[in-house]
Amino acid sequence: MDSMDVKKANLVFHDETSREYDKKWAIRFDEDMARFVLDKFELGLRGPFPRVERILEIGCGTGYAMLNLGIAGVLEECWGCDISQGMLDVCKENAEKLGIKVHLQQADVEDLPYEDSYFDMVIGHAILHHLPDLDASFREIHRVLKPGGKCVVAGEPTVNGHRFARVAKSLAQWGIRTYARLGGRLGKRPVRLREYRAEDEGSHELQELEHVVDIHTFDPAELCRRARRAGFRVARYESEELLSSFVGWMIRTVETSVEEDNITDRWRWGAYNTYKRCRALDRYLYRVLPHSWFYNMILYLEK
Ligand SMILES: C[S@@+](CC[C@H](N)C(=O)[O-])C[C@H]1O[C@@H](n2cnc3c(N)ncnc32)[C@H](O)[C@@H]1O
């Protein structure tokens, strides 16, 4: 598949899924999530989030990163772009509900519609792994940044993290099917595996597209080398989520494998707390294990 097809697939997939996106990824805009998002960026920055005048988020989607950073009170003038107008429409509604002012524009990261040296900082979350031409994207980010400007992109899957996630998904699938066969219960009801229905045809096509749009997993050191080749003076990374990613993918796999009435609020609450406890444990593991094993990479660049 060539680069144009990947972009078209990204546009169609994200337009089609934009209304369900926040629910699917349990995205909230509140103090708790704002702290969570700020922590990610400060891990990448290795320090407090700087007070700068103008920030751009590339691939802002429904606003998960920038609106939560807005709630955390670290943004002044905020700009967001995305290839999908559907995602931008939801982002606009989210921003209006929160009373946060953002400048949104439909744009491709590989060809940004902004002047040279316009932004003090560029941020992103879960975007690089969708971009067919990473070198062109890095060059564009570099171009729109002021000299000395910083770029932090969080939530990018590593090669090793992705392998662990696949194991987690297979284990969870096998586990929930076996549990259902044995007559197990979830949410005070017998487990009912989600069945294929004719009306799901559209969602199957979307699942296929999801495989098309996720085009990269990253070797963090190699990605830093690429960013340096595009002109960045500094390129380094941190990472997060090992156990929490494994458990998180198992939870998501169970949730998407069973009927909705098996998933109660109690389950969601328990799942979220388990994930948070695993994250706390991950912080200790991060001190002793190779950072490239962790699922989410946070890239830090400086012009
Ligand atoms: C996984 S979503 C992440 C959205 C948001 N940053 C978040 O973390 O929730 C990836 C986003 O990147 C956008 N995207 C994909 N390819 C793009 C491109 N070439 N230029 C700009 N945005 C793109 C998609 O439309 C989608 O909104």
Name the least confident of 153-162, 206-215, 240-249, 290-299: 206-215
What confidence tier does 3 reach under pLDDT thresholds 50, 70, 90? low
Contacts of 201 (CB under 8 A, 6+ apart): none
Whether the CB of 153 sits within 6 Å of ligand 1: no
Closest CA to 59 of 106, 18, 13, 16: 106
Q: How many beta carbons lie within 10 A of that of residue 303, not counting itself?
A: 19
Pocket test of ligand 1: the residue of 127, 141, 212 to mutate, having most ligand atoms within 8 Å of its CB, is 127
- Ligand 1 center from residue 261 Cα (angstroms): 31
- Any idea where the domains of the chain sit in the sequence? 3-302
Give the burial class of 36: count Cβ atoms within 10 A of its Cβ; 0-12 exposed, 13-18 middle, 19 or more buried.
Answer: middle
Query: Pairing between strand 189-190 and 102-106?
Result: unpaired
Predicted pLDDT of residue 163: 96
CATH code: domain 3-302 is: 3.40.50.150
Instruction: Give the phi and the psi of residue 70 in degrees, each rounded to 5.
Output: -65, -45
b vs e for 230-253, b when ≥16 Cβ sit within 10 Å of the residue's Cβ?
A: bebeebbbbbbbbbbbbbbbbbbb
Judged by phi (left if over 0) then psi (alpha if -120 to 50, else beta), residue 55 lies in: beta
Residue nearest to atom 10 of ligand 1 (CA): 127
What confidence tier does 207 reach under pLDDT thresholds 50, 70, 90? confident
Q: Judge whether 22 and 44 are in contact, CB under 8 Å.
A: no
For a pLDDT cut of 70, what percent of the chain falls above it?
96
**Range 266-289 average pLDDT:** 95
Whether the CB of 21 sits within 6 Å of ligand 1: no
For a pLDDT cut of 90, what percent of the chain falls above it?
87
Whether the CB of 86 sits within 6 Å of ligand 1: no
The pLDDT of residue 201 is above 60: no
- Ligand 1 center from residue 213 Cα (angstroms): 10
- Ligand 1 center from residue 116 Cα (angstroms): 22
Q: Is the dihedral of CA 295, 75, 54, 11 positive or negative?
A: positive
Query: What helix, strand, coil percent values describe the chain, rounded to 5?
Result: 55, 20, 25
Whether the CB of 125 sits within 6 Å of ligand 1: yes
What confidence tier does 192 reach under pLDDT thresholds 50, 70, 90? very high
Residue nearest to atom 26 of ligand 1 (CA): 61
Pocket test of ligand 1: the residue of 3, 56, 60, 130 to mutate, having most ligand atoms within 8 Å of its CB, is 130
Predicted pLDDT of residue 39: 96
Predicted pLDDT of residue 140: 98
Judged by phi (left if over 0) then psi (alpha if -120 to 50, else beta), residue 269 lies in: alpha
Tokens of 26: 């349990």
Residue nearest to atom 11 of ligand 1 (CA): 59
Q: How many beta carbons lie within 10 A of that of residue 58, not counting itself?
A: 26
Q: Which residues pair with 235 in a beta bridge?
A: 301
Nearest atom (ligand 1) to Cα of 137: 19
Whether the CB of 40 sits within 6 Å of ligand 1: no
- DSSP H helices, 145-264, are 159-181, 201-213, 220-229, 243-257
Nearest atom (ligand 1) to Cα of 132: 19
CA atoms within 13 A on the CB side of 265: 0
Whether the CB of 61 sits within 6 Å of ligand 1: yes
- Ligand 1 center from residue 127 Cα (angstroms): 5
- Ligand 1 center from residue 247 Cα (angstroms): 25
Predicted pLDDT of residue 110: 97
Query: Pairing between strand 145-157 and 296-302?
Result: antiparallel
Residue nearest to atom 19 of ligand 1 (CA): 108
β strands within the chain, DSSP E = 54-58, 77-82, 102-106, 119-125, 145-157, 185-186, 189-190, 234-240, 296-302
Kindly report the average pLDDT of the chain as a whole number. Answer: 94
